[in-house]
Chain A
Amino acid sequence: TAGITQAPTSQILAAGRSMTLRCTQDMRHNAMYWYRQDLGLGLRLIHYSNTAGTTGKGEVPDGYSVSRANTDDFPLTLASAVPSQTSVYFCASSGYTGELFFGEGSRLTVL
């Protein structure tokens, strides 16, 4: 079972360009999340979705948007990237147990 699949694995992006990080899960989990991981800051929640059709803001939502058209997919979009968005992005999902299952991460560099 693949679990959580993220794409791309790594990307270099020019400032001002837009980018969508893709996340797909095959576990039929209701809840999905996007975190960014930065050295010294740990993991910070960007956006989340408790169920298909709903989304919510996390701790650091500015500059990011998400959508949840169906259960499996939860893309994260940067409309106009800035260098401070250079980070490793992790998608995660959780089911009834509450345990978070993470993807392998997407490393984004904004120049």
Chain B
Amino acid sequence: AQRVTQPEKLLSVFKGAPVELKCNYSYSGSPELFWYVQYSRQRLQLLLRHISRESIKGFTADLNKGETSFHLKKPFAQEEDSAMYYCALSPLTGGGNKLTFGTGTQLKVEL
């Protein structure tokens, strides 16, 4: 069985400070990892996925198979980054199909 752990329920940072949202996973095979974000009054949406190796809205995440981690990072937090962030895992390349989510981290960026 797969599991996703997000140890922080709430992360509060000041505008301009670096951000790191932690995500650890357990899965015996090769997973695909995602970060989904839910802004206030908006739908949950995909932020980024590890196979695309993109930087979205200044966020990056590197899959570290040795540490089984997929931490989300941004060098300089902006007020508009305040949202709920979910790390998620799929056992299949291509994603979808019984995606397992972590419990989420609420990011609050203070002025």
A100 touches B36 (CB 8 A): yes
B86 touches A43 (CB 8 A): yes
Given contacts A40-B9, A90-B44, contact A98 B101 (CB under 8 A): no
Q: Which chain B residues lie closer than 8 Å to A50 at the CB level?
A: 97
Q: Quick one: closest B residue to A41, CB to CB?
A: B103
B44 touches A42 (CB 8 A): no
A94 touches B96 (CB 8 A): yes
Q: Which of A45, A90, A99 contacts B100 (CB 8 A)?
A: A45
Q: Which of A40, A42, A56, A104 contacts B43 (CB 8 A)?
A: A104
Q: How many residues on the B side are at the interface (Cβ–Cβ under 8 A)?
A: 23
Say if the beta carbon of A97 comes within 8 Å of chain B: yes
Q: Which chain B residues lie closer than 8 Å to A58 at the CB level?
A: 98
Q: Can you give 18 A-B contacts (C-beta < 8 A)?
A: A33-B98, A33-B99, A35-B101, A41-B103, A42-B86, A43-B44, A45-B98, A45-B99, A59-B100, A96-B94, A97-B94, A98-B32, A98-B49, A98-B97, A99-B46, A100-B44, A100-B95, A100-B96
Which residues of B does A touch, CB under 8 Å? 6, 9, 32, 36, 43-46, 49, 86, 90, 92, 94-104
18 further A-B pairs in the complex, CB-CB below 8 A; given A50-B97, A99-B46? A33-B98, A42-B86, A42-B104, A44-B101, A45-B99, A48-B98, A58-B98, A59-B100, A94-B95, A96-B94, A97-B94, A98-B49, A98-B97, A99-B95, A100-B99, A102-B44, A103-B43, A104-B43
